[in-house]
């Protein structure tokens, strides 16, 4: 047992401290695999969601390129509301000729499964659809998309063709939704520890064994040659613990905290309708994470000024994804508009405020937030 406290060593080393570190690392992997319904060797620890997303996209597409398939004969299907780490990685490949189809969500922020499946072509190498949106909290029909892809795959495999790999970015999901990979009918999944109240700087990429993918980096044999850098045992252990608490306690929270969180969120919605009727709630009222509230308020002087004003009131919120810098509007909210939407509607994408409610948030908390929102400085006109 004394050795267990020395898991700080390099897990690739063969001296006793290294062996203890390796044991702790593999225990974290095995624990995570059991929870996600996969084999331990299908879990790869990363630095977080962004790296995991970039790794699976580049891995799958580079596998096709290594086979000699021309970029213009490679196709990807995704959605217009994915995390920027998905969209920007795909944009890099698109500049070299890879075809990318961006499926728009319906006005409620939920992508229709039939629209995603209809976009798949014989050249489709990858389909990537997030499980729950990081800005507006809408839950996407991942398992339905996955089931449809499996049907397409069965037909293609019978003809000897390559099949599309289905990946889902589930970073926002573990605290509230089941992340069993088979239940989602997915081939690969991204997870991020700090989105489930775990440590920052660690995530995981889950990839089923039948998927062929090239590593993002070269230089070592760690993570079965797929992620060559010395693993952080402490962070991997923290990831596994956070995942266990999030997923194994999810059913109990659904009975206790989730129902409570949903009720508090709905009180928030009700107060907004009564006290701030000009505010628009972005995304479906039902098909969203229990802790997410994303609103647009007309005539704000400046959304970032609003964030600072609320901060002085003891309220922490954001305008859009924290991963975006220098963007004047939320591309996620902008994607909710039809192509022919009048310019008068576009203010919603500029004036967004996003709140993530703590599991123990109270009705009093959201009442105080609404009172503070009513005091925000505004222009006479939008």
Report the alpha-carbon distance of residue 199 to residue 34 in Å, rounded: 20
Contact partners, residue 160, CB within 8 Å, separation at least 6? none
DSSP sequence for 266-333: HHHHHHHHHH-TT-EE-S-SSSB-TTEEEEE-TTBS-HHHHHHHHHHTT---BSS-TT--S-SS-HHH
Find the distance separating the first CA and the last CA of the chain, reported in whole Å.
65
In the annotation, is 179 catalytic?
no
Distances (CA, A) of 307 to 110, 257, 277: 27, 27, 20
Contact 33, 39 (CB under 8 A): yes
Contact 228, 217 (CB under 8 A): yes
* Catalytic residue (choose from 273, 323, 341, 358): 323
In 3D, which of 176, 356, 341 has the Cα closest to residue 264? 356
Give the CB-side neighbour count of residue 101, counting CA atoms within 13 A.
18
Parallel, antiparallel or unpaired: strands 124-128 and 75-79? parallel
Contact 349, 333 (CB under 8 A): yes
Distances (CA, A) of 251 to 87, 112, 175, 190, 247: 33, 27, 10, 22, 8
Backbone angles phi, psi at 223, to 5 degrees: 50, 45
Contact 127, 77 (CB under 8 A): yes
Question: What angle do helix axes 259-275 and 363-373 make, rounded to 10 degrees?
Answer: 30
Q: Catalytic residue positions?
A: 323
């Amino acid at each position: 047992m004394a050795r267990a406290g020395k898991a700080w060593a390099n897990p690739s080393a063969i001296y006793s401290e290294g062996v203890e570190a390796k044991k702790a690392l593999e225990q974290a992997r095995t624990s995570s695999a059991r929870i996600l319904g996969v084999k331990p060797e299908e879990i790869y620890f990363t630095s977080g969601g962004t790296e995991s997303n970039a790794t699976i996209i580049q891995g799958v597409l580079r596998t096709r390129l290594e086979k000699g398939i021309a970029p213009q004969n490679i196709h990807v299907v995704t959605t217009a509301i994915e995390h920027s780490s998905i969209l920007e990685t795909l944009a890099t490949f698109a500049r070299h000729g890879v075809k990318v189809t961006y499926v728009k969500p319906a006005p409620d922020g939920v992508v229709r499964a039939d629209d995603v499946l209809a976009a798949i072509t014989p050249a489709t190498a990858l389909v990537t659809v997030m499980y729950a949106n990081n800005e507006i909290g809408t839950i996407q029909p991942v398992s339905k998309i996955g089931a449809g892809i499996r049907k397409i795959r069965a037909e293609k495999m019978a003809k000897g063709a390559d099949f599309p790999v289905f990946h889902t970015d589930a970073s926002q999901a573990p605290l509230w939704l089941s992340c069993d990979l088979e239940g989602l009918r997915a081939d690969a999944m991204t997870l991020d520890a700090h989105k489930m109240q775990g440590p920052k700087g660690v995530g995981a990429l889950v990839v089923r064994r039948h998927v062929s993918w090239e590593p993002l980096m070269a230089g070592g044999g760690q993570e079965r040659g797929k992620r060559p850098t010395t693993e952080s045992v402490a962070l991997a252990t923290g990831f596994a613990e956070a995942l266990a608490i999030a997923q194994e306690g999810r059913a109990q929270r659904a009975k206790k905290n989730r129902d409570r969180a949903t009720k508090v969120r709905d009180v928030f919605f009700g107060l907004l309708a009564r006290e701030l009727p000009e505010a628009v709630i972005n995304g479906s009222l039902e098909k969203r994470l229990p802790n997410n509230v994303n609103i647009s308020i007309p005539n704000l002087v400046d959304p970032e000024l609003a964030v600072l004003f609320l901060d002085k009131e003891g309220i922490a919120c954001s305008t859009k994804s924290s991963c975006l810098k220098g963007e004047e509007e939320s591309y996620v909210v902008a994607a909710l508009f039809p192509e022919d939407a009048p310019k008068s509607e576009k203010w919603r994408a500029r004036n967004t405020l996003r709140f993530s409610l703590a599991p123990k948030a109270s009705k009093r908390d959201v009442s105080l937030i609404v009172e503070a929102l009513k005091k925000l400085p505004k222009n006479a006109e939008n």
